Chains A and B, each alone.
Chain A
Amino acid sequence: MVLSRMVATEDNSFWADAEWSAALLALIGHPLGGIHLRAPPGPVRDHFLKRLNKLSGQPQLRKIPANISEGRLLGGIDLGATLQRGKPIAQTGLLGECDDQLIIAAMAERLPRNTVHHLCSALDNGQILVARDAIEAQIPARLAVIAQDEGTESEWLHSALADRLGITLYMTEVGIHDVEDEYFMPHHVERARALLSDVQLTDEQLAALASLALSLGVNSPRAVLSAVKVARGCAALAGETNVAEHDIGRALRLCLLPRAQQLPEAAEPPTPEPEPEEPESEDREPTPATEQQPLDEERILEAAMAQLPEGLLEQLQTRAVKTRQSSTGSSGEQHRHQNRGRPTGVMRGDHRRGGRINILATLRAAAPWQRLRKRETADRSQSRSLEIRRDDIHLTRFQQHRDTLTLFVVDASGSAAMQRLAEAKGAVELLLADCYVRRDQVALIAFRDETAQLLLPPTRSLVRAKRALAALPGGGATPMAAALELTRDIAERAAKQGTATHYVILTDGAANVARDGTRNREAGTRDALEAARRLALSSSSGLIIDTAQRPQPRARELAETLIGKYIALPQANAQTLNKAIRASSL
C-alpha cells in the first residue's frame, strides 16, 4: 500500500515533525525513552497529546504531577489495609502502575531531583527498585515519558532526564494555525510494528549519524542510539524495510539537532558553504563509502535544517549553553515547606499540634504491646484488630536547615581596572573554598559594558564555579543598575526555593550606564540607586567591597541604600579581601 500524501516523508514542517514524533513514540515506546516536549500550555500541545493518545491506543495518558510524593511514585505501605489486616500491605506506586504505558510528566522542569532519578532508572532498566517502608521489591516499569516542559528562559528540564528522552520537540514558536492534517492512523502504527524488526541501518548510515552527532557537539551516545531507533521507525512507518536518506534526516531533526551544542560551519543560513573538512575526512576512513548509495552527510544536514523555525538556528548556541547550565541549576532545590525537608528521624509527639504522623514508627511503637493490650481490653469485649494509644504516636522530624546561596557580583568594567579584577577573582576563589566546606551554593554575576550576566547559576559544583571565573573577561563601562536588578532576580528565585541569599558586590561604585543602556554617569547613578532601593526590600543581605584605588563616597552611598555592609579595600590582595568578608560574618 502506498501512503501517498498521508505519510509525507520529506515534509519538514513543524506539524510533520509532531505527527512523526507521536507515531514513532507509539510505535517504539519504552526503548525510545520518550519525548521532551517543550511547549507552553495551549491548544497545540493539547492537540498533540490527543494525537499521541490516539496513536498509542492507550485508554488515557496518566500524568505525574511535579509535586508527587516519593511514596506515591514508588509505592509504599498501604495504611488502611495494613491496619485492617494486621500485617503490612504494599501499595503499588504510579511508576509500577504505568508499566508498558506512556505517561506524562507535568511541569517537568520543576521535577525534584529524586523524581528525576526514579524516572531515569525506570527508563534505563525497565524496572524500579523500591526499598522503603518495610517493602523491598523490583517492579517492572517499562514506560515512556512525555516530559512537558513549560520552562521559561531560565528553567530547563533536568539534563539527566532530557538525555534519556529520545525525541525533543519545541513548540514554543507555533500557534494553532500550524496544526495540519493527521498523517497517521493507528493501523499505520500497527503495520509498522510488524516491519520494525526487519529494518536495519547500513554501517555507512550508522557512521553518518555518529559523525553528524560529533560535528554538532552532541556527546552522549544515547542521542545517537535514539536517532538510530527513530530512523528505523521512520522507515517502518513509511512501509519500507530500507532506511532512506530522508529517514536519517528525520532522525537528525528529532534527536540530534535539538541537542546541538555547536553548528557545523556550513550550516549557517546566509552562507551555504561546504561542510567543514575535519569530520568528513575522519569518518570516511573507517567505513569506505560503497558506490551504490553514497550518503551525503552535508546534504542530509542541510535538508534537515531547511525548514527549522525562524531564529532557532541563531538560538542554538545560546540555548546550548543554557541547557548545560541548567543541569545543576535546580538540583540544589529542596522542599522547604513547613513540614518538609530532610527527615532526620522520628519522635514521640502529639499530632494535634501539627506535624506529620510517621505511620510506620507509630505502628512499630504499638506493635509489641498488641497482645498485652488485647488481653487488657478483652473483658470489655472490644475486638479492635489494632490497639493504638496516644503514647504510640510518632511524628517525623524535619531538619529545617536552610540552604545558603552566596552570590558574587563582580564589577568587570574598565574602571575596576584589570589588576583589581585579578584580585577580586582571587578573593572569590578563596571564598568559594569556604562555601565548599559549608556546602553552600554559589553563583556568579559579572557586569561590564552594556549588561550584567549570570555567568554561573546557583550550583554546588566548585569545578564549574572555577571555570566560570577563569573565563571572566574585563573592560568597558559599568552597568551597575542592571547588575543590581539581576541580583534581585536571582535572590528572589532562590527565596522561592527556600534558600537565603548573601550577595557580595565587588565594585568601585562608578555606575555609568543607565537602565536603558545609554552611557551617562548621572542617569547611571540614579538608576543604580533606584535598583539598590528595590534590592534592599528583598529578603537578601549583602556586602559591598569598594575596590577603588581611592575610595569615593559613591560606593558607600550605594551600600547605605542597600542597607548592606561596606568595606573599603584600596590596597587589598586576595587574602585580605577574604579575611574581611569572613569577618563580616557572611
Chain B
Amino acid sequence: MTIAYPFTAIVGQDDMRRALTIAAVDPGIGGVLVMGERGTGKSTTIRALAALLPKIDVVRDCVYKCDPHAPRSELCDQCAKAKDTLDSATVTIPVVDLPLGSTEDRVVGALDIERALVNGEKAFQPGLLAQANRGFLYVDEVNLLEDHIVDALLDVAASGVNVVEREGLSVRHPARFVLVGSGNPEEGELRPQLQDRFGLSVDVRTPTDVATRVDIIRLREAFDQDRAAFRKKWSRKERTLRKKIEVARSALDAIDTPAEILETAASLCLALGTDGLRGELTLVRSARALAALEGANSATLAHLRAIASSVLRHRLRRDPLDDSSADIRVERVINELFDGAIENGCD
C-alpha cells in the first residue's frame, strides 16, 4: 500500500476541501463532483481524505458492512435473518476506487465462479458497490466512464439498493455510498443525469501566484523524498481534523435549523429556477454539516452562504453552450439575496 499525501498538507483549494469534509460529516448529502484542469490535485485530495475518515460499527464478517444498530429492514438479507443480536466490530469507513475499465460484473457483482466450479453451487460474489456500502465510491475521470457502468451507478446511487438479476441469481443488497467523481471538463461532458446525482460540485483551478505555487512544490517535493517522514510530520494536524470530523458527525443531529435558513434556501432555489426539492434539501443539510464542523450549535446564514455555490452551480437548467455563466448567475443571486437579508436586519 502506498502512502497517501496528507489532506491537511494540501495548499489552497479551499472549496474542494470544504466540500469533501462536509461529505465526510454527512454522507446523506449525495457526494461531491470535482472538475478541473490537470495538475490541480483533484485525485490527490480525494485519496487523502481516506486517512481522515472515522471508524464505524459494522456487523462482524458481513461483506456489506451492515450497521448493527440500524433497523433490520435496512440490513442485508443475511443480517436481517440473524436470530440473536448481531456481533459488532469497528472498521474505518472504506474508500473504494472504481477504476476506468472495470467490467460490469465487478461493479455490481456476479456469480462466484470459483464456488460454482469447485462445489457446483450458486453463490453471489459481491462487487465494488457492495464494498462501498456505507463508505465512499471514487471515480476518477468520471466523465470518461462507459455508459453501461454509469447506468448501473445511477440507479443504485438513487435507491441505495443494488439489485442483481443475472445468471440465475437474484440478489438485493444495501449499497449506500458517497459518490465522489473527478475529471477534466476539457475531455468531455458529464452525462446530465449523473451530474444531478452529486450533492456538491466544485471547480478547481491552478493557483497563479508564485508564492502559493512554490509552497505546493516544496511540500510535494518533500513528500516525494520521504513519504513516511512527511506523513509523520503532518500526523498531528491530520489527527486534529479527524477528531473534528468525528465530533461533527455525532453532533450533527443536534444542530438547530432556524426557519430563516429554510426560507433563504427556498428563495435561493426559486430565484435560480432549479428543478425539484433536492437543491433545497442539500442546501440545508450542507449548512448543518458545516455548522457541526465549526462547532456551532445552529446553522447560520453565513454557513448557508459558504456552501450555496457548491450546492447550486450544477443544478441550473442548463444551456449547453453557456459555459461560464452558471457560476456567475449563482454568485449574483447569492449576493443579492444575502446582502438583502443582512440589510433587512437578519444579521
Contacts and interface: CB of A to CB of B under 8 A. Distances in A.
B211 A286 contact: yes
Contacts of B146: 342
Interface stretch (B18-26, B100-108, B235-243): B100-108
The 5 closest A-B pairs by CB, nearest first: A367-B116, A220-B39, A371-B120, A463-B323, A286-B211
A283 interface: yes
A360 B214 CA distance: 51
Nearest to B128: A131
Given A134-B110, A221-B206, A429-B321, A364 B214 contact: no
Considering residues A127, A131, A386, which has the most beta carbons from chain B within 10 angstroms of its beta carbon? A131
Interface residues on B, range: 35 or more
B83 interface: no
B114 A229 contact: no
B303 to A, nearest CB: 31
B101 A214 contact: no
A206 interface: yes
Interface string B117-141: 1101110010110000000000011
A364 B168 CA distance: 10
A327 interface: yes
A130 interface: yes
A572 B77 CA distance: 64
B102 A131 contact: yes
A225 B105 contact: no
Contact of A368 (B2, B168, B186): B168
Contacts of A461: 185-189
A340 to B, nearest CB: 14
B81 interface: no
A283 B144 contact: no
A461 B321 CA distance: 10
A555 B108 CA distance: 56
A460 B189 contact: yes
Given A88-B114, A203-B214, A433 B321 contact: yes
Interface in A178-212: 197, 203, 206-207, 209-211
A347 interface: no
Contact of A463 (B37, B121, B127, B185): B185
Interface of B: 1-2, 37-39, 41, 43-44, 47, 97-103, 105-107, 110-111, 113-114, 116-118, 120-122, 125, 127-128, 140-141, 144, 146-148, 167-168, 184-189, 206, 208-211, 213-214, 216-218, 220-221, 224-225, 319-321, 323
Between B97, B99, B107, B319, the greatest number of chain A beta carbons within 10 A of the residue's beta carbon is seen for: B99
A268 B182 CA distance: 39
A345 B122 CA distance: 21
A466 B323 contact: yes
B36 to A, nearest CB: 11
Nearest to B47: A125
Interface of A: 31, 70, 74, 86-88, 113-114, 117-118, 121, 124-136, 138, 159-160, 163, 197, 203, 206-207, 209-211, 213-214, 219-225, 228-229, 279, 282-283, 286-287, 327-328, 331-332, 342, 344-345, 360, 363-365, 367-372, 386, 429, 432-433, 436-437, 460-464, 466-467
Contacts of B125: 134
B42 to A, nearest CB: 11
B2 A118 contact: no
B117 A87 contact: yes
Contact of A132 (B37, B103, B121, B321): B103
A113 B186 CA distance: 14
A117 B141 contact: yes
Contacts of A429: 321
Contacts of B187: 160, 327-328, 331, 461
B293 to A, nearest CB: 28
Nearest to B209: A282
A386 B117 contact: yes
A369 B184 CA distance: 47
A436 B38 contact: no
A96 to B, nearest CB: 14
Given A207-B214, A342-B147, A364 B110 contact: yes
B345 to A, nearest CB: 42
B113 A367 contact: yes
Nearest to A138: B1
B270 to A, nearest CB: 26
Contacts of A213: 213
Nearest to A163: B38
A432 B319 CA distance: 11
Contacts of A117: 100-101, 140-141, 144
A274 to B, nearest CB: 19
B213 A210 contact: yes
Most chain B CB atoms below 10 A, which of A135, A214, A432? A214
B321 A113 contact: no
A142 to B, nearest CB: 9
A135 B103 CA distance: 10
Contacts of B221: 225, 228-229
B141 A432 contact: no
Contact of B218 (A206, A342, A460): A206
Contacts of A369: 120
B120 A130 contact: no
B214 A286 contact: yes
Nearest to B221: A228
Contacts of B168: 368
